[in-house]
């Protein structure tokens, strides 16, 4: 009888003792060695900007509010060419009052000056997204493609049926999130899901590092292909794009050498091309068919805002501007 009572007491108390032991002992499961973050995408109209308003507070030595818009608003009254041809410059109020206006190409002269890049020809400005010239000849000549279904195949090539002009509201309507898992061995795995992009939109993912580029005097925000080349994803017919990578480092940590991954930029390649380990084509002279005279051509360099548009950013080690 005594032995029976002892067994009963043990059966009642042993699970409690084991539970207490599990509570106080340090966890040794694999899950305990994994750090996890979920990061939200924020709409942008350029580098760290949303309608000329800085989105994230950048660390020193950068100015905390450094930002550059790379799109403008379509100006129906702009001349066909010349210095006066350009899109309307984005203002802070446009994110509330101009959401129904089409966006258009432009050049941020402050950004070009920092990069030491030349200004593109005015005929490449104030173009809506479906009007942006694409490479359409073996020699690299670019011209505006007609819409799908408007010509008899096979020539000339056309845009997709979903390549339509975007309003500012549509451009800023993108959403998304990223899940980051960093492991004890120093590696990481990331999953990104993007929504509300144009069907079949060509996108690349760029890690914006605070680092000193080779030959530079000091640190600067430098775009590098996130997860290596190719860093490409294409939205499906519903405007959803996915991107996964395994990394040899945790993107949430400052590296031992001091480099810091500030944010991820989502670049939209409205010219239909990607350019390897750089977001856009080098500023070399490119041949274009003159939109005002299809029998004539002209040459011009290209720049961000003409071939690539920053359409969303995910903060990594930066915080929202207060």
Is the N-terminal amide bond of 147 cis, ω within 30° of 0? no
Q: Between the CA of residue 175 and those of 10, 168, 172, 263, 264, what are the distances in Å? A: 56, 14, 9, 16, 14
The pLDDT of residue 15: 40
The pLDDT of residue 21: 38
Higher pLDDT, 214 or 54: 54
The pLDDT of residue 283: 81
Res 4 pLDDT > 70: no
The pLDDT of residue 295: 95
- Report percent pLDDT > 90 for the chain: 80
What are the pLDDT digits (tens) for 66-88? 999 999 999 999 998 888 899 99
Q: β-pairing, 188-195 with 297-300?
A: unpaired
Rounded distance between C-alpha atoms, residue 197 and residue 268, angstroms: 9
Higher pLDDT, 301 or 26: 301
Among all chains, which residue has been given the structure tokens 């819409």? 147
How many other CB atoms are found less than 10 A from the CB of residue 5?
A: 9
What are the pLDDT digits (tens) for 134-173? 999 999 999 999 999 999 999 999 999 888 999 999 999 9
What are the pLDDT digits (tens) for 271-316? 999 999 999 887 889 999 998 899 999 999 988 889 999 999 999 9
142-143 β-sheet, strand order: 134-135, 142-143, 286-289, 297-300
Res 267 pLDDT > 70: yes
Rounded distance between C-alpha atoms, residue 273 and residue 308, angstroms: 9
Rounded distance between C-alpha atoms, residue 248 and residue 33, angstroms: 16
Max CA-CA distance within the chain? 108
Res 231 pLDDT > 80: yes
Mean pLDDT score across all residues of the chain? 90
């Amino acid at each position: 009888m005594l032995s029976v009572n002892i067994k009963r007491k043990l059966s009642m108390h042993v699970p409690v003792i084991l539970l207490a032991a599990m509570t106080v002992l340090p966890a040794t499961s694999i899950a305990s060695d994994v750090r996890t973050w979920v990061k939200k995408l924020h709409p942008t109209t350029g580098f760290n900007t949303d309608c000329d308003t800085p989105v994230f507070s950048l660390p020193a030595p950068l100015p905390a509010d450094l930002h550059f818009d790379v799109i403008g608003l379509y100006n129906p009254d702009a001349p066909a060419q010349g210095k006066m041809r350009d899109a309307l410059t984005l203002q802070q109020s446009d994110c509330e009052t101009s959401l129904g206006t089409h966006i258009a190409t432009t050049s941020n002269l402050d950004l070009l000056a920092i990069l030491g890049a030349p200004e593109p020809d005015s005929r490449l400005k104030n173009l809506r997204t479906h009007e942006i010239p694409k490479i359409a000849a073996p020699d690299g000549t670019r011209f505006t493609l007609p819409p799908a279904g408007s010509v008899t195949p096979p020539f000339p090539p056309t845009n997709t049926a979903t390549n339509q002009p975007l309003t500012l509201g549509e451009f800023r309507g993108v959403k998304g999130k990223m899940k980051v898992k960093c492991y004890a061995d120093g590696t990481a795995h990331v999953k990104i899901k993007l929504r509300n992009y144009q069907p079949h939109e060509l996108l690349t993912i760029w890690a914006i590092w605070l680092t000193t580029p080779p030959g530079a005097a000091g640190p600067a925000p430098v775009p590098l292909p996130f997860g290596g080349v190719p860093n490409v994803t294409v939205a499906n017919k519903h405007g959803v794009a996915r991107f996964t990578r395994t990394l040899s480092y945790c993107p949430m940590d400052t590296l031992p050498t001091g480099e810091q991954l500030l944010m991820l930029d989502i670049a939209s390649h409205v010219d239909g091309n990607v350019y390897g380990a750089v977001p856009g084509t080098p500023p070399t002279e490119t041949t274009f068919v003159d939109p005002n005279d299809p029998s004539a051509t002209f040459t011009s360099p290209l720049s961000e805002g003409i071939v690539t548009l920053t359409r969303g950013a995910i903060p990594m080690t930066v915080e929202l501007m207060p």
